Amino acid sequence: MAGWSCLVTGAGGFLGQRIIQLLVEEKGLQEVRALDRVFRPGLREEFSKLQSKVKLTLLEGDIQDEQFIKRACQGTSAVIHAASIIDVLNVIPREIMMNVNLKGTQILLEACAQASVPIFIYTSTIEVAGPNSYREVIQNACEEDHLETTWSAAYPYSKKLAERAVLAANGWALKDGGTLYTCALRPTYIYGEGSPFLRGFVDQALKNNGILPHNSKLSIANPVYVGNVAWAHILALRALRDPEKAPNIQGQFYYISDDTPHQSYDHLNYNLTKEWGFCLDSRMSLPIWLTYWLGFLLEMVSFLLSPFYRYRPPFNRHLVTMSNSVFTFSYKKAQRDLGYEPLFSWEKAKQKTTAWVGSLVGQRKAGLGTKTH
């Protein structure tokens, strides 16, 4: 398979960029096709610097455009499918979520079969496993526990069905007589420089005298650094290309975490921002059970108003459950089958993320300075 090529979808996203940066270092790789709906100008410049290492082709288009996807897959040796819409507040209409996350994945799988692409790696999420109740304690869960979300919210539901489609496609016959081999990676909550969630928390805190929003103090999660998730994708790709390792990986899914300490989401945000003077809100918060039922009432209001007005509740039961659960996972199976070891330590990940938070604070102060002069 000398002189191989790889297509990465969602290449302009938080995780996709990191996958591209690591992928261009792979041996024998001739071309990376980076696909996304649109690339911001700054990222185009960053990617152009990688051209010295490998041919990097930027493809702008819609994952639902069958002809575009067929052309993107033509002559490709592997696909890493990291594109999806993440929405925890049900802001995006359900139909769009299902079309992009599920239908887009199905279109891509069909295109791989037609273009005889033998390897397909899917970026899934732990949300396909739950949590289903904030009362349930799940610690160091593994793949053999067969956890599955019972939520019908568009994001976890669309990702669950898409992952199922990917794993069911393992063993498909390709047009050239070959076979399609697939696997899925389920990262825990991803943090790191560029995180849209962390950016949102920092923005909120900057508007509130440096006080971070606190709504997840009772959770215990094992967050994972974005660079380690990207590294797991590279190792999955190597393993599926290795005739000795591949049989153990085909049709499998893997939880991806790292050695970031298990902590609440609130404490993670605090640990990544405290160097810049941010602090946690010390005020009393409502009991979880009460917040949960308030979420239910807000969902009902949204539903009743839907024929006349699109009301977007500030939170819902699914978000309350996710944000307040004990829900952690082991990466031992990925360690065993993929040879996965985190590339970045917690200290390094924290250092890189904290420095990025500092740049956000600096931008904000510079912006305020501009306004006052």
Dig out the tokens for 114 from the structure: 């037609």
Summarize pLDDT for 137-171 with one digit per residue, the tens: 999 999 999 999 999 999 999 999 999 999 999 99
Quote the pTM value: 0.95
The verdict on residue 341 lying in a domain is yes
The verdict on residue 106 lying in a domain is yes
Helix boundaries (H) for the chain: 14-23, 41-49, 66-73, 94-98, 104-115, 154-168, 196-206, 226-241, 246-249, 265-273, 288-305, 317-323, 332-338, 346-372
Summarize pLDDT for 6-33 with one digit per residue, the tens: 999 999 999 999 999 999 999 999 999 9
Provide the CATH number for the domain around residue 181. 3.40.50.720
Summarize pLDDT for 242-270 with one digit per residue, the tens: 999 999 999 999 999 999 999 999 999 99
Beta carbons within 8 Å of 79's beta carbon, 6+ residues apart: 6, 7, 8, 9, 73, 108, 112, 117, 119, 120, 121
Q: What is the average per-residue pLDDT within 107-132?
A: 97
Whether the pLDDT of residue 371 is over 70: the answer is: no
Residue 42 belongs to what domain range?
A: 4-197+224-261+329-345
The verdict on residue 360 lying in a domain is no
Whether the pLDDT of residue 340 is over 80: the answer is: yes
**Helices vs strands, H then E, count in the chain:** 14, 14
Summarize pLDDT for 347-366 with one digit per residue, the tens: 999 999 999 999 999 988 77
The verdict on residue 76 lying in a domain is yes
Choosing from 122, 155, 157, 181, which is the catalytic residue? Answer: 155
Residues of the chain above pLDDT 70, percent: 98
Residue 2: predicted pLDDT? 58
In the residue annotation, 255 being an active-site residue is answered as no
The verdict on residue 131 lying in a domain is yes
Is residue 217 a contact partner of residue 283, using CB atoms and an 8 Å limit? no
The verdict on residue 219 lying in a domain is no
Give the pairing type, strands 211-212 and 190-191: unpaired
The verdict on residue 364 lying in a domain is no
Is residue 344 a contact partner of residue 258, using CB atoms and an 8 Å limit? yes
**CA-CA distance, 138 to 106, in Å (whole number)?**
31
Average pLDDT of the chain, as a whole number: 94
- Kindly provide the b/e burial profile for residues 101-112, where b requires at least 16 CB atoms within 10 angstroms of the residue's own CB: bbbbbebbbbbb
Total of domains in the chain? 1
Residue 79: predicted pLDDT? 98
Summarize pLDDT for 33-58 with one digit per residue, the tens: 999 999 988 899 899 889 888 999 99
The verdict on residue 290 lying in a domain is no
